Structures are given as C-alpha cells and as structure tokens.
Structure 1
Amino acid sequence: MKSQPSEPGPAPAAQDTEAGGAGTAGTPPPLRALAEPVRGRLALAVGLQAVAALAGVVPFIAVSRIAGRLTAGSPADGEALWPLVALACASGFVALVCGTAAGALAHLADNDLQLALRRRLARHIGRLPLGRLTDRGTSEVKQAVQDDVSALHTLFAHTLLDVVSVLTAPVLILVYLFTVDWRLALFSVVPLLLGVFLFSRAMAGAAAQMAEFGAAVGRISAAAVEFASGIAVFKSFGRGRKAHERFVRATEGFADFFSGWVRSTLVTSTAAILVVAPAVVLLLLTVMGAVFVTQDWMTGAELVPFLLLGPAVAAPMGVVGPRIQQIRAGQAAAVRITELLDAPALPEPATPALPVGHHISLRGVSFSYDGHTDVLSGVDLDLVPGTVTALVGPSGSGKSTLASLLPRFHDVTAGTVTLGGADLRDIPATELYRRVGFVLQDVRLLRASVADNIRLGRPDATDEEGERCARAARIHDRITALPDGYATEVGTAVTLSGGEAQRLSIARALLADAPVLVLDEATAYADPHSEALIQDALSALAAGRTLLVIAHRLSTIRSADRIVVLEDGRVTEQGRHDDLLAAGGRYAALWEAQRTAGPDETDGVPHQRSAPVGADRAADDIREGSAR
C-alpha cells in the first residue's frame, strides 16, 4: 500500500465540503437521486468487486496453508498440496474476472449516467430564462456540464469500487487471522485503531480550517483575475510593479495560512500515516510473531499468514484521505447539478397566444432580482411600430433591466408587457424570438463556421441570403478575406476583433428579420473605424423596425422618436430631444454634463468617440422605411 504525503487531511475538498452540505457518512439525497437510473448496475458492480476482493485474499490463505503442510514434514502431504494450488489459481482467476467485470460495468453505467445527465442539463438549460445565464455567465453551466459530471465519474467508476475493495478484503483477512491465532490477530488490529485515533486528532477543527482554505483560494483567484485584466492599465501609467502586489499578498497569505495548518497537524498526521504503513505493520507482526514462536505459543507456519495478510488489515487508513476528498467532491458536484436542474425554467403558456402586430406596451411594470428590492417600479411605456425609443439615465437606473424584459430574459414581478396585444408570458418562446431580436455589447459567437453563425436565427437560410445580410452589416469583405471565407470556423485558426464580431452579430440579426429590436450600445467599445462600420450596419438593421436603444452617449439618440429617462427604476421624463432640453429636467442636466465633459467621457465611462451617427441615421431610415 502506497503511503500518502504528510498533510493535514484532504484540504483541497474544502469548498466542496461546504457546497455539498453533507458529510461523508451516508449518501446525500442529491447523489442518490442522480444515480437512480443506474443504481441496479452500480449495485451489481459493487457486488462483483466485493467478490473480487474476497477472492483475491484466498490465494494468500492457500499459500499459508501450503506453508503449514510443507513444514509438517510428512511426504504424504505433498499430494494434498495440489488442491490448495488449484484453489489459489481458481481464486485468482475469479478475482481477475470479477474485478474486470465490476470495472467494466461501473464504467458503462457511469457512461450512460453522464450521457443522461448532460442531455438533461442541455434540455433544462435551454428552458432557463436567458437572464439567469447572462447574469451568472457561463461558468455555472460549464462547471455543471463538464467539471461536476466528471467528478461523478470519478466517484462512481473508481472511488466506489476502491472503497468496496479496501473495506471488504480486510474483513475476511481479519476473520481468518483470528482462526489462526486470536492473540496475534489482536496485535494486527492495533495499527488500524491507532491510525483512526491519530487521524481523527489530525482532523480536529478541520471544518473551520477548510472554510479558511476555501476563502484563501478565492482571494488568490480574485487577485489573479485582477492581475490579468488590469496589468495593461497599471503599466500604461508606469506602475507595472503595483499590478502584481495584491496577487503576491494573496499567495503569501495563503502560504502562511497553509504552512501554519500543516505545522499544527504535522506530528499527528505523519504519525497516522506511519502507523498504518505496510512496512511498520509488517515489522510489528514480525517482532511479535517471533516472540510467539520462541515462546512456543504458535508455530512458524502459523506466523506466515500474519506476515502475508497482516499489513492489509490497516490498509483502509492509508487511502482514507484521498477517498474522503473524492467522496466530498462527488457529493458537492451532485448538489450543484441538482441545483441547476431544479432552477425554475421559463414558464411555457398553458394557452398560447399569438400577437397581432408589433406594438409593445408596458403597464405597471415592476421587477426585482431578489424578490425584495425593486429594480423597476411602476413603469408605463409604449413602443409604437416603426419608431426609435431610447432609454437613458445614470448607471444603475434600470435601463438594461427594462430592455431585458422585451426578449423575456426575465419575467416581470408585477404588471404586464404585451406584444401585439398578447402578454409575453403567453407567447411561445419560438414565436417570441421570431418577433423580438437583440444586439448586445457582449457578442457571443459559436465555434462554428461564419455562415452557421450568421444563420443561427434562420438555419434554413440560403448562402445568398446570408451573404446579402453580411454585405448590409459591412462584414462581407472581412469574411471573404478569411482563409476559407464563409466556411472558416470561428475561434480556431481565426479570431475576429470585437468590432468584426459585432458586425457579424448584426448580420445574424438582419437574417433573423425580427420586427422588434433591442440594441444595448453596440458601439461602446469599438474603435473609430469599426464604430463607423457598425453604425452603418445598425442603420441597415434598424430600417423599418421598432427599435429600443439603451443609450449612454446622448449625442447618438438626438433624433429618436422618444427618449425615456429612467431614475431609480422609474420613468421620470419622456419626449423628444428638443422638448426635454426645453423642460430643463434630468435629461437636460445629463446632456449638459456630457457636453461639458468632452467627447471621450460619458456618464463617467470613457468611450472612443461620440459621433451622432447611429440612432440618428437609424431613425431616419426607419421613417423612410415606414413611408415606403
């Protein structure tokens, strides 16, 4: 048995222990529930592994019996050795077959479970509100689909069988040793009991230490992200050394904490590992066996099984740390997967309704993320077909939240949002997304061909239709310059810039041809050249459609048909640009603040430039489209 390194218990599982909400004693309900479809096959694998472990002990027992026959000195006993030899060979074969079958069965069951879980997760994630995915990012989904399912693989396909093996074989060994000599058998149990005692002492207070371990790792992760994302800013101001100071402090703090933890448990944890080490157990049994033999309390042949099998009695303690870590990781993974599967899906209407027209109306709309604090309160608003409505206001006023209600990223807490007279909650999702599209700042492209990325909203579109939309989005020339043109796979040999990705998403929205569009400052982070191209593409996209624009630069929405000012989740002003300036209210104050701040700063956020192109041109195009 391989000894484990001297460390204070399975610390790396600290975060998982807390997340799992359950100890290692017993299986928590989430784990049982997830394993239910393959429970029968796992039980059979456990049974086969137990048989394999027991059969693996028999050859050693047979060898000890052979040693006894040989030391008896009777020539006639030689003929009696062959049955023992046959028993040893047969048991070894049974152990091999059953162990192989158990491993294969557990892996097949686990493979089916992984496939079923990933399919369940994919179906359920597809039904989750888009707001949950955009708010929490993709890390939660990635962890559940990839990392957590892999943790269950380790638990079911490996750890489960290992635990059965290390617990089953010592029981048979101990029973047999007691039949040989109960006194020496008691001595073989001493290392196991001493190892349990010392290990429990080493783990005393581990819960608090593990919590601190997780917090320390979290501080390192946060500092690493800050270091990676902020180093360019620090260097640009000649403070390159400052960029890594917080990261160094976090790592040094973790090292100090972990070193202190190791020092406080070093003696007991090292002792726990040493007393169950096979060499130590073998030395103990050899010394005590020699005493027994010299005192004629047992024969030399009776000592053989203790030397062969005795070290395996304490073997479970030698692997308890890693196995506990794997069990805790599996428990925590099951809890996270279950939480994601239990996340409420976007309710589908019991009696579907189809909108008549594209007029959008918000009445008494309130929304809260946590169920307590309203981000929006009592919003009344109409979006007339063929018009541009701009949302403005200070940061945190609720602009993005209000815009996210139209494509139903979230459902309202109170009030109603209707499209063509039908409540959004009564419109089937497929019908809603045919009518409402969105272009956001954070563009997500699939790892697929450029053509497939454009055809995402209309998979049945022809190549000619996709190319026409790419031309309108001012991205066709860039695509044709790629190695394989429209067949080039995004994210492999070629990576598009932010502005190029934005224009590709606009081409996607053009092809989807949704009559209602939500634009969230699509040019906020573009360079001047890309911004001009994006504005041209947005003009083509906006023509003839109902547009809701989240605007940070007020100069870009002067020609909007309606400007809506939000403050603290409430509509405080609405009207056209000139009327709002004449009113001298909040909008006029925001306009004056941006005008005096200069062209590169808006609402405290630096921007590339502030050309009044996008929504002005979009509004003109919409009006021309409506007139046509």
Structure 2
Amino acid sequence: MAAEKAALGAILRPIKGRLRLAVAAQAVSAVAGVVPFIAIAELGRVLLDSGPDRSREAWTITAIGAGALLVRLIFLLASGAVSHFADNELQLHIRRGLVDKLGRVPLGWFSARNSGSVKKAVQDDVEAMHHMLAHSVLDITAAVVVPVTSLTYLFWVDWRMTLVVIAPLVVGLGLYSITMAQMAGHLPDYDRAMERINGSAVEFVQGIAVVKTFGQTRRAHQRFSEAADDFSSFFLSWVRATLRSKAAAEIVLSPIAVLLAVLAGGAVFVTNGWLAAVDLLPFALLGIGLTAPVLALFYASYELRIAKGAAERVGEVLEAEELAESASPRTPSGNDVSYKGVRFSYDGKQEAVAGIDLELAPGTVTALVGPSGSGKSTLATLLPRFGDVTGGSISIGGVDIREMALEDLYRRVAFVFQDVRLTQDTVAANIRMARPDADLSEVRAAARAACVHDVIEALPRGYDSVIGEDARFSGGQAQRVSIARALLADTPIIVLDEAAAFADPQSEAAVQDALSELTRGKIVLLIAHRLSTVVDADLIAVLEDGKIIERGRHEQLVAQAGRYARMWHAHERTAGWQPHQPTLVTTVSAAPVGGNNR
C-alpha cells in the first residue's frame, strides 16, 4: 500500500498545485451547497415563530440561500474545469513518458511481457487515473465537507438530537468498512485476472490467421473462454463474500432509514419537551442528506484504491531499466562481428548462453541450429541489443556494441523475424520506417526487390493504402513488406530468423527471392529452423544448453557423425529433402551487388 501511495504521489507531482486548487474550489462548492438547506430550516423557524414580525430577517435568509446556490454553481464549474484540464495535461505527460520509455527499453523487455499487460498499463491504467483525478478526488472532497458542514450546524441546533441522526451513520460506516476491507484484499487477484483476459484476447486476435489456418480455432478460443470463466468465478465469489455486509450497510445508510431514526427520535424528544417541534425541521432536511455523501465517499475510495494500483503499474513501466547508451560513443572501423565469451541470463540465475565465441566476416552466412531452448534466438538477438550481455562482449569493427550510438548500431544491423509487425499507417510509411527521409522512388525500388511491388500496386490506393483499412496482407506478403523495409535500410549486417519457415507455399518462393536480394554480400546471422536451408552456409554453429558444441560447414558436420549429423538424418527422414531443393543460402553467398560497405 505504501508503494502504491508513493507511486501515485510521484505521478501526480506535475499537477499537484492545480489539484489542490480544484479540491479547494470543490470544498467551497460543497459548503455553499449545504447553505440553502440551512436557509430553508432557518426560514421555517422564522416563519413559524409566533413572536414579532420577522419578515426582513426572512428575506435576508432567502437571499443568502439564493446567493449560495450561485456560489455553488460557479465553484463547482471551476473545480471541474481545473481538474479536467489538469487531468488532460497529466495524461498527455504520462502517455508521452510511456511512449518515450517504451522506445528506450531493450526489445527483450517486451518478450518478457504479454501484450495484455503492456496494453493494461499504457491504456487501462492511465484511464483509471483519469477517473480518479477528474471525478473521484472531487467526490471525496464533497463527501467529507458536506457531512462536516451539516453536522456542525445540527450540533449547534441540538447536540442530543444530532447524536440520534449520527447513529445510523456509525453503524453503516462500520458495515461498509468491513465490505471495503474484503474488496481491497482481492484487488491484486482482480488485476491479475483482468491482465490474463487482456493477454489472451490480444493474442487470440493477433494470431487468428494462423489459428484458423491450422484449424485450432476452438482450442485458441478455449484459452480465452477459460480466462473469462476463471474471472467470472472469481468475481462472483468476490461479490458473494461482500454481499451481506454491503446490502446491510446500504439499508442502514438509506435516506428512509435515517428519516425513520429522525422521526422516532424527534417524537421522543418533542413529546418529552426536550426539543421544540420547529427545531425538528433542520434534522429532517439535513439528516437524510448525510447518507448520499457517505456512500459516495466509499465508492470514490474504492476507485482511489484502483487508481493507486494503476499508478504503481504505470510507475513500473516508467522506471523500467533503459538500454544503456555510451556518453562518448565510438564509431567502428568496419562491420565484422565478434562474439567473445558471451554470456546472458534472463533471470540472473540460469544462463541462456554461456561462453560463446563466434566470428562473422563480411560476405558470409553463419547459421545457428539446435533444439528449442538451446539459445539460438538469444544469441542472435543480443547483436541488435534486444538485451545486453551479462558477460563477455559483442563487437562490430572492433568496438563493443554497448559503446556505439544506438543510431549507428541500427544503421549497421537490421533484423527480419517470422513474427511481422506492421503499424496502422500507409504501406509506404511502413517501408519508410527504416529511413524516414527516403523518397517514394526508393520505397518502390525496395518493394520491387522484395517481390511485393505488384501486390502493393493492386491495392485501392497503392502505396498510400492504410494497413488494416484498405490494405490487408497475407503472412507471406507482410513478410515481404518487412523485408522491403530492411532492404531500404541497406545495412551491412542482417539478423534473420528464417522468415520463410512458416510461409504458405505460394508465398515461400517469393519470400526466399526477397531474402536472397536482402542478404546479398552482407554479414548474415541466421537462426535456422529447417536444416535444408543452411546446407551452403559458410559456418554452421550447433547450440545445446546455451553452448556451441559443434561448428563447421554442412559436409564437415555430417562427416563428424555428431549432434548435427543426427539432426540432419532425422530431417531427411521426416522432410523428404532432395539435394536439388532450393535453399536460402545458395544465393546469399553470391558476390556483393550494391551492398552497403559502411
């Protein structure tokens, strides 16, 4: 709880002054809102007085009540305007901060989180803080000021009768405290359940094409259904646990219950001569108005708890460790890549790769092969700094990549993976993402080289078609768009997660042609899933348990009759490979054509 409060305080720091101003305006508005009821009560006492004429006093009270209504309206509008403007500025500040932070964290940070948890922090949690700032804080202020003002006046009228009015409030507050304690204890479970639903929904939608292709709709939908059913069961049990205390509290705090207490207590007081009949009017008017603010206080307090949790999650993103940049970046003298004693651990305990030494020379293809979990992807993604090594070093042109400017690193290293992400923007903008200053002719040239130009031209608005609206690509077409992006970048180093491994048969040949153009004359680090695609690689590194256990060309490794040979023979039996089958690296090692020699 202390951490949540500290996180909320840190996030609200830029607008604390305006938030205090809004609270002060709301407090004035709340006091002014009680004054007309006090005026009515006092007016009744004046008009029912059998003494001398008090008409002037009656008009004065009426004017005060009417003036208070105007003051309430002015300050209510002012508090709402100040809080909403402050909230808008804070949301802009938070969202900009989140976008900036997400642009500077290692890409591996996203791999450790599902889309639902990131979406919840960036969207849902920021929205939760909006309701707290624009509404809940002001509701809490009014819920405190109105009862205090009313009770102060009622104590002045008759303190004994005021205690009678307070009695239902005390009982109701006790019951509501029990309810809120039960609800608060389950809030972390609620957040985890919502995160699971968000994650399963986003993943189901993002993977719907593959799911439907392989007939797994029911299984994929079942995961979402299970998450929804689990949430439903949890929520129902949560509600049942608080149902009785909440219902009892609302009955005790209802205006009817308070009115009954006022009438019963008033009858006893008046008949015994302890209270004048006319003095019962203030309690009937203001007593029943005490319950609504109290109920609003509990609801707003609950929303405040949610906002504190949201602020903590947003704060965790804002405080995520960024990719370190050198204060004095160095520029490599070449593009050759060297892994020296590279180690990396995701959790600080078990190493995903351990003691890797590897040299990548210009114009060569190095393939990483091995079983799932052997460290292939980890080793490859360390080169574009998806994460930083925990031991050893990776250098380009003799310079540790941690000492390079990130812009320089990404001008030298491009990566193309199976899991393509295209933004909801024009096709041209998606390709131009690698070089925002590229003109349309360069974009078209990259698309032609990636074998996707004709597909784009067939769209309703060609290169100006917006992805997700009038541009919808198949998996293979989207892959070629991402390859066109990498072609436009024209980097001397390519990290390639065998992009055609899961392409449909119609697209695979086109994707392979595009990849051959992309990798021509470059340094290529290839994560290989199908051994048939790397038979002509210059070097094949076989990984197991995070270590290179074999290395060499295809023929050498087969002749050694080791791990690679066993994998190869298994591949031949299951895939029915033929020697003349086209492979990716057959053309990769061709002579450089227009390569970037930076």
In the TM superposition, residue 50 of structure 1 has moved relative to its aligned partner by 0.5
2:347 to 342, 367, 370: 370
Is 1:293 equivalent to 2:270 in the alignment? yes
**Using the alignment, how far apart are the partners of 2:488 and 2:225 within structure 1?**
49
Aligned to 1:466: 443
Segments of structure 1 that go 5 or more residues without pairing to the other structure are 1-20, 601-609
1:612 to 554, 560, 582: 582
**Using the alignment, how far apart are the partners of 1:30 and 1:226 within structure 2?**
29
**Using the alignment, how far apart are the partners of 1:168 and 1:401 within structure 2?**
59
CA 1:302–1:45 in 2, change beyond 3 Å: closer, same or farther?
same
Out of 228-237 and 243-252, give the one that drifted further: 228-237
**Using the alignment, how far apart are the partners of 1:417 and 1:343 within structure 2?**
23
Do 2:342 and 2:356's aligned partners in 1 also have CA atoms closer than 8 Å?
A: yes
2:427 counterpart letter in structure 1: V
**Using the alignment, how far apart are the partners of 2:199 and 2:140 within structure 1?**
36
1:368 counterpart letter in structure 2: S
**Using the alignment, how far apart are the partners of 2:507 and 2:423 within structure 1?**
21
CA 1:325–1:230 in 2, change beyond 3 Å: closer, same or farther?
same
Q: Percent identity?
A: 48
Do 1:188 and 1:310's aligned partners in 2 also have CA atoms closer than 8 Å?
A: yes
**Using the alignment, how far apart are the partners of 1:157 and 1:203 within structure 2?**
22
Out of 41-50 and 132-141, give the one that drifted further: 132-141
Q: Deviations over 1:370-422 (max 9, x none)?
A: 11111110000000011111110110000000000111111110111000111
Aligned to 1:513: 490
CA 1:236–1:454 in 2, change beyond 3 Å: closer, same or farther?
closer
Within 5 A, what are the aligned runs for 1:41-120?
A: 41-74=18-51, 76-120=53-97
CA 1:254–1:421 in 2, change beyond 3 Å: closer, same or farther?
closer
CA 1:374–1:244 in 2, change beyond 3 Å: closer, same or farther?
closer
Q: Deviations over 1:478-521 (max 9, x none)?
A: 00000000111111232211111100010110011001001001
1:441 counterpart letter in structure 2: Q
CA 1:80–1:22 in 2, change beyond 3 Å: closer, same or farther?
same
Aligned to 1:169: 146
Q: Deviations over 1:136-186 (max 9, x none)?
A: 254444333322221111111110000000111100100100111111100
CA 1:233–1:151 in 2, change beyond 3 Å: closer, same or farther?
closer
CA 1:321–1:619 in 2, change beyond 3 Å: closer, same or farther?
farther
Segments of structure 2 that go 5 or more residues without pairing to the other structure are none
CA 1:229–1:30 in 2, change beyond 3 Å: closer, same or farther?
closer
Q: Residue 256 of structure 2: SS of its match in structure 1? A: helix
**Using the alignment, how far apart are the partners of 2:400 and 2:503 within structure 1?**
36
Is 1:560 equivalent to 2:533 in the alignment? no
2:301 to 319, 324, 328: 324
2:527 counterpart letter in structure 1: I
**Using the alignment, how far apart are the partners of 1:138 and 1:50 within structure 2?**
42
Do 1:557 and 1:612's aligned partners in 2 also have CA atoms closer than 8 Å?
A: no
1:494 to 450, 468, 471: 471
In the TM superposition, residue 268 of structure 1 has moved relative to its aligned partner by 2.5
Out of 578-587 and 488-497, give the one that drifted further: 488-497
2:587 counterpart letter in structure 1: R
Q: Deviations over 1:564-588 (max 9, x none)?
A: 1111111111111111111111111
**Using the alignment, how far apart are the partners of 2:211 and 2:540 within structure 1?**
38
**Using the alignment, how far apart are the partners of 1:543 and 1:528 within structure 2?**
23
What is the alpha-carbon root mean square deviation over aligned residues? 2.9
Aligned to 1:403: 380
**Using the alignment, how far apart are the partners of 2:238 and 2:6 within structure 1?**
32
1:85 counterpart letter in structure 2: T
**Using the alignment, how far apart are the partners of 1:94 and 1:60 within structure 2?**
14
In the TM superposition, residue 297 of structure 1 has moved relative to its aligned partner by 2.3
2:501 counterpart letter in structure 1: A
> What number of residue pairs does the alignment pair up?
595
Out of 359-368 and 456-465, give the one that drifted further: 456-465
Out of 467-476 and 489-498, give the one that drifted further: 489-498
**Using the alignment, how far apart are the partners of 1:333 and 1:209 within structure 2?**
15
CA 1:319–1:368 in 2, change beyond 3 Å: closer, same or farther?
same
Aligned to 1:603: none
Within 5 A, what are the aligned runs for 1:68-217?
A: 68-74=45-51, 76-203=53-180, 206=183
1:614 counterpart letter in structure 2: L
In the TM superposition, residue 193 of structure 1 has moved relative to its aligned partner by 0.5
CA 1:52–1:189 in 2, change beyond 3 Å: closer, same or farther?
same
1:533 counterpart letter in structure 2: A
CA 1:611–1:84 in 2, change beyond 3 Å: closer, same or farther?
farther
Q: Residue 502 of structure 1: SS of its match in structure 2? A: helix
Q: Residue 620 of structure 1: SS of its match in structure 2? A: coil
In the TM superposition, residue 295 of structure 1 has moved relative to its aligned partner by 3.0
In the TM superposition, residue 133 of structure 1 has moved relative to its aligned partner by 2.4
2:583 counterpart letter in structure 1: V
CA 1:417–1:254 in 2, change beyond 3 Å: closer, same or farther?
closer
TM-score (norm 1): 0.88
1:80 counterpart letter in structure 2: E
CA 1:211–1:146 in 2, change beyond 3 Å: closer, same or farther?
closer
In the TM superposition, residue 55 of structure 1 has moved relative to its aligned partner by 1.0
Do 1:274 and 1:280's aligned partners in 2 also have CA atoms closer than 8 Å?
A: yes
In the TM superposition, residue 225 of structure 1 has moved relative to its aligned partner by 8.0
Aligned to 2:16: 39
Q: Residue 494 of structure 1: SS of its match in structure 2? A: coil
Aligned to 1:588: 565
In the TM superposition, residue 441 of structure 1 has moved relative to its aligned partner by 0.7
TM-score (norm 2): 0.92
**Using the alignment, how far apart are the partners of 1:317 and 1:406 within structure 2?**
59
Do 1:521 and 1:551's aligned partners in 2 also have CA atoms closer than 8 Å?
A: yes
**Using the alignment, how far apart are the partners of 1:105 and 1:236 within structure 2?**
53
1:484 counterpart letter in structure 2: R
In the TM superposition, residue 267 of structure 1 has moved relative to its aligned partner by 3.0
Aligned to 1:11: none
**Using the alignment, how far apart are the partners of 2:526 and 2:212 within structure 1?**
35
Out of 117-126 and 455-464, give the one that drifted further: 117-126
In the TM superposition, residue 544 of structure 1 has moved relative to its aligned partner by 1.4
Out of 218-227 and 477-486, give the one that drifted further: 218-227
**Using the alignment, how far apart are the partners of 1:142 and 1:255 within structure 2?**
21
Q: Residue 319 of structure 1: SS of its match in structure 2? A: helix
Q: Deviations over 1:21-77 (max 9, x none)?
A: 449xxx711111111111111111111111110111111111111101110135621
Aligned to 2:399: 422
CA 1:400–1:291 in 2, change beyond 3 Å: closer, same or farther?
same
2:588 counterpart letter in structure 1: A
**Using the alignment, how far apart are the partners of 1:28 and 1:294 within structure 2?**
52
CA 1:595–1:111 in 2, change beyond 3 Å: closer, same or farther?
same
Do 1:542 and 1:621's aligned partners in 2 also have CA atoms closer than 8 Å?
A: no
Q: Residue 476 of structure 2: SS of its match in structure 1? A: helix
